Structure 1
Amino acid sequence: MAEDFDKVFAGLRQLMLGAASGMTVAKDDPGSLELRTPTIDPKTKQPGWFGTVTIKKTYVAYHLMPLYTHPEVAEGISGELAKRKQGKTCFNFARIDEALFDELARLTKVCVRLVDR
């Protein structure tokens, strides 16, 4: 299973890096990618959170933090992608699904535009 998760992680990592090319890579370790926004969060005085891809015990988590402040963006996602959503910002995958990855890439690009406002 871990080998499969490595492949899922690799696919989601590439997806996030490609769709969110304007974000700053804060961490890029095996099994863990963290992207920050180029803008400074007024509360923390640090670059804001954009997203993460992380291997967990039973899935690979894909977080898009702009969905926390703009939940309406996720209202138009497909039922299949909605089944993968946990909480406000996280999508969980245990295997590669090209159609859902394509939809997630489009959603990530929308989130990038929200950060650029």
Structure 2
Amino acid sequence: MEDLIQLRAFLEKNLLTLCPPLQVRKNEARLFEVAGTKETMQGKQLVSGLYFASIIPKPKDVRFYFFPIYTNPEEFEWISPAMKKCLKGKSCFHFKKLDYELQNEFFKMISHGVMLYGEKGLI
């Protein structure tokens, strides 16, 4: 999958399969965001759900910001070298294409994030 519109749709569709227990917080042309469902403190602010992930399309790629890998990096040491190559910084993936293996790994990764949020009582 190399078409950026299809790529974004794939990422959104996979996140939507996890709603609930996650909730869609923003669904706009330039931002798709999901969060947990339990009120919690995010910094000094009380929010209706802790940020989980967002998708931001760019002209040359689709960015996927994934908070569980930022807060629990040790829980994602198993991700493949191909997936790690897409990771820029601590929590932002830049996807230009996704082959079949990366598509499966993406769903496994976000499902693992949901499991972590469940264990912490965030959903």
Residue from 83, 88, 91 that aligns with 2:90? 88
CA distance, structure 2, for counterparts of residue 17 and residue 70 of structure 1: 22
Deviations 1:9-61 (A, max 9, x none): 01111122224541110111234210011122323200210101110132101
What is the letter of the counterpart of residue 98 of structure 1? Y
* SS at 1:95 equivalent: coil
Which residue of 1 is the match for residue 75 of structure 2?
A: 73
CA RMSD, aligned part only?
A: 1.7
Q: How far off is 1:98 after superposition?
A: 2.3
Q: How far off is 1:110 after superposition?
A: 0.6
CA distance, structure 2, for counterparts of residue 20 and residue 67 of structure 1: 19
* SS at 2:64 equivalent: strand
Conserved? CA contact 1:5–1:94, under 8 Å: yes
Q: How many residues align?
A: 115
> Tell me, which stretches of 5 or more residues in structure 2 are unaligned?
none
Conserved? CA contact 1:20–1:112, under 8 Å: no
What is the letter of the counterpart of residue 15 of structure 1? N
* SS at 2:17 equivalent: helix
Question: Does residue 1:45 correspond to 2:46, yes or no?
Answer: yes
Q: How far off is 1:102 after superposition?
A: 0.8
Deviations 1:69-110 (A, max 9, x none): 101122111111111111111211112322101101101111
Select between 20-29 and 44-53 the one with higher mean Cα deviation.
20-29
CA distance, structure 2, for counterparts of residue 4 and residue 48 of structure 1: 31
Question: Within 5 Å, which residues of 2 pair with 1:1-117?
Answer: 4-19=3-18, 21-42=20-41, 43-46=44-47, 47-117=49-119
CA distance, structure 2, for counterparts of residue 87 and residue 20 of structure 1: 27
CA distance, structure 2, for counterparts of residue 20 and residue 107 of structure 1: 15
